[in-house]
Structure 1
Amino acid sequence: MGSPSLFLDGTTILLLGGSRFFGRTILSELLASGARVVRLTRGLRDQDHPPQHPNLICLHGDRNDAALLADIRDRYRPRMVVDNILYHPDGARMMETVFAGACDLLLFTSTVMSYLNATLSGVSLREEQWERSVHAEGMEAIYGDGEIVYGQNKRQCEDILSHSKTLPSLILRLHNVAGEDDFSGKSSLIPRALWQAARAGRPLYLRGTPDHSYQQVWAGDMGRVVCGLLRRFVEQGRTGLADAYNVALPPIRLGDYVAMLLAGMDTPPEIRWVGEGIDRDNPNILSPYPRNVRLDPARLVRDLAPVALTPYADWLPLLMSEAARLEEGG
């Protein structure tokens, strides 16, 4: 995406987050596109050895510090803000207060966790259909209290930003983002279970059926997604852009997803599918999630063209390699 055209040449972008996982791909693509990036991170992951680039300014601090953000706004005057670490509605209100009238666009990465209130088998949710999916009923069967609160907070952040009259925003609703070096461990959940079962010579029990749907997006594509949408904004403004995008590959059968992982193993384990009501608390049964929550990515595919997302078959083998590395190393 960071082509010779350097479409963001000289444009200042404030990136909140960006020191790990898909945030690093966003940072790389922004720099490759010619942007001047001010990166604010909350942690100390690379404080002693931050990435080096002539167009990169690395700052460390609390993204919930309104005075700090106001100082960054006044000192660097970012044209756009990319926010990967907005988790609470108070933070959304603060962004609106600090950056109202001071930047052209806030791009906020949200989550499918905002909408896991039901088993939505066979139904693809489009960007304009979210009002029917606003409560947490049904989520407690799969997620812990903290995860449910996380999803509800993200949803409130979406509501605040999407209804703002003073801060133009673009919301990216991310399905499960999978990739190497995933600090959350979610990317390696199924691959590591397959690897462990194969090593132990036992079957792997999976909750659900092969016909359940499954959906992810490759972390390595996130920079291209963000920069592709920013390019459209720079070239056309809000004309033709949606207020929110579902970021995911089209859903596939869970059985096909697992089969692609198994294809990369010399001695794959036997897979046994387990019904929903059987041994729910059995620790030897893995529950892939979120099953049957289908986000319709058609709008993203259309508006992001000619940028294309990487197909499952191209990166699932990398997840297996990553799982083997993690198992062997720890």
Structure 2
Amino acid sequence: MPDTALVVGGTRFVGRHTVEELLTNDYHVTTFTRGESENPFADREPVESVHGDRTDRSALEDARDAVDPEIVIDTCAYHPGDVETATEVFADAEAYVYVSSGSAYDAPDVPLREDGTALHDCTPEQATDDSMESYGPRKAEGDRVVARAAEQGVNAMAVRPMLVYGPHDYTERFAYWTDRVAEYDEVVVPFDGDSLLHRSYVEDVASALRIVAERGDAGEAYNVADRNTFSLSRSLELAAAGLDTDVEIVRTGPSDLDAAGVDATDFPLYTPQPALAATGKLAALGWESTDPAEAVARTARAHREEGRDGAENGPDRETEERVIEAAR
């Protein structure tokens, strides 16, 4: 009899890959969603689905009673109240894993460490807010809810991914760059393209969630990100290799960007300061990350096959060409 897993979420991005990871490791999986997105597992066995609103405690209780999951992976808890309810409803599960975020950190430490870097405070107003400004504080408070639940005997843990990329990424942040590489010979990057924003390949996030559920310690948080990080320029080079094309990276100065009326922060995945997370704690559980060349190639090809171009995430091509002209 395979182990049973309930994935809260499970049909879009991180949850979708988590279901695949669990299936590969012989779990019987049930997804809990509102049923508003297309279900890629509609005809897959042994995947079942339960529909309901995760903010409705009784719906979570019905899912628990119907599935009796051994592990619960919560991919879409965006408010600390959601985490508190889930840790209560699933208190008797063998493991509850909350998907937090690297945004929970409130310090410029390099690297960000689970047991040393400060987390955001979260006011009562932020705890129920839906804005991006409160996202980090809300995720941080969810981590504290997990820690308190563990003190009460719940085997609850948190996983903090840095920015996630990979196939089926509906945010299309990385798709902006894969489209540029696929469509144009010259691609603009801010400054020298050495921006270091630590990222997490989505399949690695999925494996981290499973491994933490199986081997993690109650109350602990685990960073997840590429073990071998790489710059924005390197991302473009790897994407070009994965798409079997060539790319000339156009490096820019502040005056080049000013000439086109754009700021470096207008480009997706750019960060003015390195944002890096320590991943040794997770690696100590036996987790490994995918080779960057393979991860980026898979992502680039998937974005092209899925028709994702990320056009709304950065400067349009006309603006980019003005930057190129100024750089020359």
How does the TM-score come out when normalised to structure 2? 0.77
Matches within 5 A, 1:223-302: 223-232=206-215, 238=217, 243-250=220-227, 251-263=229-241, 264=243, 266-275=245-254, 279=258, 282=262, 286-290=267-271, 292-302=274-284
| Offset of residue 320 of structure 1 | 3.1
8 Å CA contact 2:225–2:279 kept in 1: the answer is yes
Cα distance in structure 1, aligned partners of 2:143 and 2:4:
24
8 Å CA contact 2:161–2:205 kept in 1: the answer is no
Aligned to 2:99: 109
Could you tell me which of 170, 175, 178 is aligned with 1:191?
Answer: 178
Pair 1:134 & 2:120 matched:
yes
Classify 1:276/1:299 alpha carbon distance in 2 versus 1 (closer, same or farther; 3 Å).
farther
Pair 1:181 & 2:158 matched:
no
| Offset of residue 179 of structure 1 | 0.9
Matches within 5 A, 1:45-64: 45-46=37-38, 50-53=42-45, 55-64=46-55
Classify 1:316/1:35 alpha carbon distance in 2 versus 1 (closer, same or farther; 3 Å).
closer
Cα distance in structure 2, aligned partners of 1:329 and 1:276:
25
Cα distance in structure 2, aligned partners of 1:288 and 1:276:
21
8 Å CA contact 1:208–1:276 kept in 2: the answer is no
Could you tell me which of 289, 306, 318 is aligned with 2:298?
Answer: 318
Classify 1:205/1:244 alpha carbon distance in 2 versus 1 (closer, same or farther; 3 Å).
same
Classify 1:226/1:118 alpha carbon distance in 2 versus 1 (closer, same or farther; 3 Å).
closer
Supply the AA of the counterpart residue of 1:260: L
Q: Which moved more, 1:152-161 or 1:281-290?
A: 281-290
Aligned to 2:137: 152
Runs of 5+ in structure 2 lacking a partner? 123-129, 312-328
Aligned to 2:12: 20
Cα distance in structure 2, aligned partners of 1:188 and 1:177:
12
8 Å CA contact 1:15–1:38 kept in 2: the answer is yes
8 Å CA contact 1:208–1:287 kept in 2: the answer is no
8 Å CA contact 2:94–2:155 kept in 1: the answer is yes
Aligned to 2:127: none
Supply the AA of the counterpart residue of 2:120: V
Cα distance in structure 2, aligned partners of 1:229 and 1:97:
19
Could you say what secondary structure the match of 2:252 adopts?
Answer: strand
Q: Alpha-carbon deviations, 1:153-177, whole Å to 9, x = none?
A: 1121111112223322111100122
Cα distance in structure 1, aligned partners of 2:81 and 2:256:
39
Aligned to 2:148: 163
8 Å CA contact 1:105–1:169 kept in 2: the answer is yes
Cα distance in structure 1, aligned partners of 2:310 and 2:165:
20
Could you say what secondary structure the match of 1:59 adopts?
Answer: strand
Could you say what secondary structure the match of 2:100 adopts?
Answer: strand
Classify 1:160/1:210 alpha carbon distance in 2 versus 1 (closer, same or farther; 3 Å).
same
Cα distance in structure 1, aligned partners of 2:249 and 2:113:
36
Cα distance in structure 2, aligned partners of 1:20 and 1:163:
30
Could you say what secondary structure the match of 1:316 adopts?
Answer: helix
Could you say what secondary structure the match of 2:285 adopts?
Answer: helix
Could you say what secondary structure the match of 1:46 adopts?
Answer: coil
Aligned to 1:124: 111
Classify 1:57/1:72 alpha carbon distance in 2 versus 1 (closer, same or farther; 3 Å).
same
Classify 1:37/1:218 alpha carbon distance in 2 versus 1 (closer, same or farther; 3 Å).
same
Cα distance in structure 1, aligned partners of 2:74 and 2:162:
17
Could you say what secondary structure the match of 2:55 adopts?
Answer: coil
Q: Alpha-carbon deviations, 1:284-325, whole Å to 9, x = none?
A: 952424561100111212212xx5311111122233334444
| Offset of residue 22 of structure 1 | 2.9
Cα distance in structure 1, aligned partners of 2:189 and 2:195:
11
Runs of 5+ in structure 1 lacking a partner? 1-8, 137-144
Cα distance in structure 1, aligned partners of 2:103 and 2:210:
24
Classify 1:98/1:266 alpha carbon distance in 2 versus 1 (closer, same or farther; 3 Å).
closer
Cα distance in structure 1, aligned partners of 2:269 and 2:10:
27
Aligned to 2:288: 308
Aligned residues: 296
| Offset of residue 82 of structure 1 | 0.7
Cα distance in structure 1, aligned partners of 2:249 and 2:293:
21
8 Å CA contact 1:205–1:286 kept in 2: the answer is no
Aligned to 1:6: none
Supply the AA of the counterpart residue of 1:313: A
Q: CA RMSD in A?
A: 3.2
Classify 1:153/1:224 alpha carbon distance in 2 versus 1 (closer, same or farther; 3 Å).
same
Aligned to 1:216: 199
Identity of aligned residues (%): 22
8 Å CA contact 1:209–1:275 kept in 2: the answer is no
Aligned to 2:2: 10
Supply the AA of the counterpart residue of 1:311: D
